[in-house]
Structure 1
Amino acid sequence: MPTVAEAGFPDLTFGGTLAFFGPRGMPAALRERIAADVRMVAAEPGFAERIGPLGMVPRAGTPEELGRVVEENRLHWAERARTHGVRPTN
């Protein structure tokens, strides 16, 4: 199987978001506590060095910031799908 560049798309890049999600209706206090704990771990010395070789960069924020990132990603990929005529199939 060819790489994306070998298939004729040398400038195509892809980024993703790895995040913690909880159930709808999770108490706000618990959501904020988990987010604070994740920010604390992401800020620890050496964390970026451990995930860097995996192509990852820590960007821990608030639940509201994550919501905006998820929505921005959804809009971005929906537009790409429309532009290229991609349609869902079963």
Structure 2
Amino acid sequence: MDNSDLAELFTEQAEWRESKAEAFPNDDRNLDAAKLLRHLADTAQIVPPGVIKAAEELYEDAPDVETWHEMIKQIGFHRFPDNAEKFLRDYIAARTT
């Protein structure tokens, strides 16, 4: 995974949340989550390669994949990372502590 792949991942999640916002227009959380995910996509280009590599190495084990997907789902609902690097560092911390 590189910076562009990371940005694409957040963009795809934002698009999914936007579709959920259309399906549930009375629930602002999906739209808020989509906005945050787009911000994470915008900041993905400046994440240091070493941080991406560390997260990617953890992602190879099944429990780590589950943690990754759960953390992605929580963005804008229970997790509000300031930027893409913070999200990755939170993931690394969750899997190494």
Higher relative contact order (CA 8 A, sep 6+): 2
Q: Same fold (TM over 0.5)?
A: no
The structure whose residues are more often helix, as a share, is: 2
Q: Which has the larger radius of gyration?
A: 1
